[in-house]
Structure 1
């Protein structure tokens, strides 16, 4: 009940995402417009984080997930039956909006329920379940297209995943009741007069939360956004790099697939490292590895063995990305107020999603003005700057008790 809905949602979304530009092109979009339609998914996530924080704080994680699943189901129907490119783009935007609500609801749930001693492992596993869906989804899509001969089969598969998700959320055992957060400590009523005000839980709302925690968001939040940007750039640079050195599509897919497999294989190791040694011990090696990978890759474009170097540094980037699994979720959970984390997490996720959305635009602009090698080097520099920011701003918690290890 904790991880199952996330796997189902990610599996369906992972099957549809690679085909969004293809179906957009069938509806009359050129290459630039198809890319813009695909970017509507990220825009939807950016727009959805803050409203999702408000919804989770008011109606709870379970109901927010159910509503997000229902709206996403309607968007999937619109996606499959879209008569025009505009309707199709709006449906993609809505799916991104609902994905933000779904992800934030589960993030908030884990933040309030999971003990600190194994929080990083639990959140790395949550990130791993999302990666599992995104990793398997394209293979499911390929199988469905082979059987039915129509890209729209993947959209209906996404709809089936969403219906299963809604049923699981609404009809299964409620984790919010099974894993209640620790109750607030109550003061014994002695009958004596009380001076001063009686403390009560305060809901301060999304925008007041952003202002109250502006220091954390402007420091640690920007460091987290740099990690999100580097991750996002990885998925853009590697395919483009393969094309620029003359590799065929099959070879590029193989190299990127191996990098993704390494990334996926390391997701739980990241949580183990964070829980045992502290958050910085996963964040810093991840950023340094990815920074070194991007900078080194920038010098290999014109070498005789450029394909070999491409495969090698794609693997290095996969290791770095795998070691970063769950870091953004864990740091957000650590920094969030314990009583009402959802509004803060909405702001946190907006920052990290903004970093992820900006990176492809940055790569595109630099590559257009100069070369892809320069763009790769710039992303590497951003990774090193992010590593320095993590060293400066990640809190150094006290080690967990020996029994928790």
Structure 2
């Protein structure tokens, strides 16, 4: 699809999105990445055993899972900018709760609140990019969004380690997160208004014009014109029902990708422990895998924009599926450490190639005039896949072995690859890859 002569280039849009979307994303992720490693530590200081500390840490994921649908409702009614600002302000209350909580229960509630607000913040950015980024470089823009989040999450733990070394108190990471949140709120409120600085993309305007001409009753938000205040809004649950076909098919395929990604973060450290490696070696292997993952995030967007979404989703799922299955056969070999490092790198490549694919597919199949309610459902599915995977790995490892758990996650990856082959061509128009 050729751009109009006066349309911005990919470089122009990506650069100008910096203070609106990418900057706040880095700040939020940097603070969240700094505080994540210390949540179990602080929970243990408040009296939790290992199992309860893990449960408290999972409250962040549970909060994010629960926050997606309400976030879709909020973005549809008050807009992306106000939703991000409100999520930042409420997150500050969660930060105060984490830092000052006198009991484990209040600390867990504060962690849940942070996750809930992270969902609202993430969905607002996703909705904004869906309606404003031209289709020709949508995947690159969304892959960069995923990459900026990964950058923050990657650097955050190193910042936390440095702060703890200087101040000798884990709570300093919470206050650092608070500083990041204040900077995020100021950037969102005082920076250029994303809802007026950029009009919706040409594809979105055309879809909106068509919807208005056909008088379908689709809700319209942001800067897209509304023909009448009496036009009925489609609620979140009605949107879920209306789009149940794509959610129950392509949405579940996306959830399988999220599950395999999440399993990688659990299986690799546990695998290193199970084959007798020391913590430093495990951290090095996992860190190299993460570095490979991060290095490929923009390449994923290039592939999706130039060749199609399936060309990123399918290799990613095949690499991670085969990688998990192959890893499951190496546990008791003489070269188990070497195989561990090699397949950790393979999983890093697969995960890197999938960067931005869930955001991009969600944007591709979302209603063009009001994507937020649909994206709330889409992100709930993908977050559910990511939340269930660690529980599945734990349950299988407890009843069988970690190798069996790795093999099962690999099988899920291969089934997910088949699902993408089946459903991406059906639901994502050929013009979009």
Structure 1 and Structure 2 fold alike (TM over 0.5):
yes
Tell me whether 171-180 or 283-292 shows the greater mean CA deviation.
Answer: 171-180
| Cα displacement (A) at 1:2 | 2.1
- How big is the shift at 1:130? 0.4
1:240 maps to which of 240, 251, 270: 270
Say if 1:284 and 1:387, in contact at 8 Å, map to a contact too: yes
Q: How does 1:83-232 map to 2 (within 5 A)?
A: 83-181=102-200, 182=202, 183=205, 202-232=232-262
User: 1:6-405 alignment to 2 at 5 Å?
Assistant: 6-181=25-200, 182=202, 183=205, 202-395=232-425, 397-399=429-431
SS at match of 2:21: coil
Looking at structure 2, the residues matched to 109 and 197 of structure 1 have their Cα atoms a distance apart, in angstroms, of 22
Structure 1 residue 382, shift from structure 2 partner: 0.2
Tell me the alpha carbon deviations over residues 189-230 of structure 1, each in whole angstroms, 9 at most, x when there is no partner: xxxxx9x99976652010000000000000000000000000
SS in 1 for 2:430: coil
What's the CA shift string for 1:43-65, capped at 9, x where partnerless? Answer: 10011000000000000000000
Q: Deviations over 1:279-309 (max 9, x none)?
A: 0000000000000100000000000010000
Q: Is the 8 A contact 1:131 1:264 kept in 2?
A: yes
C-alpha displacement at 1:248, in angstroms?
0.4
Query: Whole-Å Cα distance in 1 between the matches of residues 430 and 379 of structure 2?
Result: 26
CA contact (8 A) 1:287 1:386 kept: yes
Q: Is the 8 A contact 1:278 1:397 kept in 2?
A: no
Match of 1:190 in 2: none
Provide Cα deviations, 1:53-101, integer angstroms capped at 9, x if missing partner.
Answer: 0000000000000000000011101100110100100000000000000
User: Contact (CA 8 Å) 2:72, 2:372: kept in 1 or not?
Assistant: yes
Q: Contact 1:16 / 1:141 at 8 angstroms: preserved in 2?
A: yes
Measured in 1, the distance between the counterparts of 2:307 and 2:77 equals 36
Aligned to 2:7: none
Counterpart CA distance in 2 for 1:213 and 1:17 is 35
Residues 157-199 of structure 1: CA deviation (Å, up to 9, x unaligned): 0000000000111111111111111556779xxxxxx9x9997
Do the aligned partners of 1:40 and 1:96 also contact (CA within 8 Å) in 2? Answer: yes
* TM-score, L = length of structure 1: 0.95
Q: Is the 8 A contact 1:366 1:375 kept in 2?
A: yes
Q: Is the 8 A contact 2:40 2:57 kept in 1?
A: yes
Instruction: For residue 280 of structure 2, give the secondary structure of its aligned residue in structure 1.
Output: helix
Deviation per CA, 1:135-171: give whole Å up to 9, x if none.
Answer: 0000000000011011001000000000000011111
| Contact 1:277 1:399 (C-alpha < 8 Å) held by counterparts | no
Return closer, same or farther for 1:386/1:19 CA change in 2, 3 Å cut-off.
same
8 A contact 2:59–2:115 mirrored in 1: yes
Asked whether the equivalents of residues 308 and 432 of structure 2 are also in contact (C-alpha less than 8 Å), the reply is: no
Per the alignment, residue 191 of structure 1 pairs with: none
For normalisation by structure 2, the TM-score amounts to 0.89
Q: How many angstroms apart in 1 are the aligned matches of 2:115 and 2:102?
A: 20
**1:186–1:148 Cα change, 3 Å:** closer
Return closer, same or farther for 1:28/1:269 CA change in 2, 3 Å cut-off.
same
Question: Partners of 1:322 and 1:169 in 2: how far apart?
Answer: 28
**Contact between 1:203 and 1:340, CA under 8 Å: does it hold in 2?**
no
